[in-house]
Amino acid sequence: MVTSAIPRAPTFSEIFSKRLYEIENGERLRTCLQCGSCSGVCPFGYLMDFPPGRMIAGLRADEFELVMETDTVWMCVACYACAQICPSKIPITAGLMTRTKEELLLAGNVPSELQSALENSQRYGNPMGESPRKRADWALGVQPPVTILGRERRPVDVLWFVGDYPSYHPRVQSVTKALARVLNALGISFGILGPEENSDGDTQRLAGERGLFEMLAEKNGRVFSRYQFNKIITSDPHAYNALKNEYPALGISYPVQHYTQFLAEKLDLLKPLLKQEISATVAYHDPCYLGRVNGVFDEPRALLGAIPGIKLIEMAHNHTTSLCCGGGGGGMWLDGFQWEKAHTRLSEWRVREAVDAGANILAVACPYEPPRFEDAAKMTQQAGSLVVKDIVELLAESLG
């Protein structure tokens, strides 16, 4: 008797694995050693039913639908700690975690807080649902006036991609104004897009909304193409990451720098202007998407080191091992959800480290961080006098 294999439909795990293999370095998933480093280093791994290592085990056991039944992947803050530590260099954050979120999102399984941030991003071009027409309102009263390219059609050297939180969040607006002040002090020719700017979309992408990311990127791409500039700078590491690593694949390619890189290149010009002494012990928090993901560690420290009076110290977790503030990968829009599961915030952990290290200023370089760390400091007993400042706020203060 001749028997032949009965063709069967591929299982969900098989389909999911196959699609993971298709992404850059996705095949490395096959080389997972099950060492568990990813699950151990994950700041919320201890709360997940399926931390990354077990997710891979679930895929291999053809039981990934069990992973999909849990919502613990929404604890992932896309901080890249797992991908960084993985000895097999598996793209865990960009591949496994993000694809799982995409799959959940397609199935309509989205925590409601995240849902409204995504709907707002689609409708208003920013996750907080603010009026797009007010995107440049932070610049009202800034002297000399900030050039909005749609109104003054002139070439500029630098296009400043301001970003969502720097445009709208009252705390972060003061960082934005400080950057305007430093750029003006250096005589930089710069302009912003104002109401024409849309969210960079990177965090929405890492929260599983790839289609939304592409829509936002295309809108920004069309606006970029209307104006003349030599490079883009931004104070937002997430926007920096998107513009540097993700937009080019969509045909939107411009030289881009985080403002710390841009200013560090001009340190010879900037340093003589930093006259005001700031007598403080400063710990610098490496933002995930500036440090771990894009390797920018030295420039922020060089800027802080140029401010007279500042004593720079390191916290226990620094450089590639920096702890996430909890805002990435959609964490910014899952505060209630994550609080319910964890009853702690990653930002509180970080603030305790800053206090333990003896810092009286926690310096940051990402717009998610001033509000997150300031809130955390209020929740942390020993952190009453800890001041949270973006590097550029300290630079502006030192200008006198």
Partner 1 sequence: MNIIVPVKLVPDLVEELSIDPAGTALDTAWLRMIVNEFDDHAIEQAILLKEKVGAHVTVISTNIEGVDDLLFTAAAKGADRLIKLTGDLEAGNNNHALAGELARIIREMNPDVILTGVQAHNDLDGSIGPQLAGHLGMPYIGYVAGVDVSGDNVIVRKEYPGGLIGEMQASLPAVFGIQAAEQPPRYVAISKVRQMMKTSNIEEFDLAALDSTGAPVVTRMFQPEVAERASMLSDNPDEAAGQLISLFKELGTL
Interface residues with partner 1 (CB under 8 A) are 102, 105-106, 108, 110, 112, 115, 118-119, 122-124, 129-131, 133, 209-212, 214-215
CB of 204 to partner 1, least distance (A): 9
Minimum CB distance to partner 1, residue 128 (Å): 10
Q: Closest distance between partner 1 and the C-beta of residue 167, in Å?
A: 15
Phi and psi at 331, nearest 5°, equal -55, -30
Min. distance of Cβ 131 from partner 1 in angstroms?
5
Spatial separation of the C-alpha atoms in residues 80 and 367, rounded to whole Å: 18
Closest distance to partner 1 from the beta carbon of 381 (Å): 34
CB closer to partner 1, 203 vs 235: 203
- 258 phi and psi angles, rounded to 5 deg: -75, 150
Nearer to partner 1, 112 or 382 (CB): 112
Q: Name the residue nearer to partner 1 (CB basis): 13 or 120.
A: 120
Nearer to partner 1, 95 or 291 (CB): 95
Least distance between partner 1 and beta carbon 242 (Å): 16
Minimum CB distance to partner 1 smaller for 30 or for 133: 133
What's the rounded Cα separation, in Å, for the pair 202 and 242?
A: 6
Output 212 or 303, the one with its CB closest to partner 1: 212
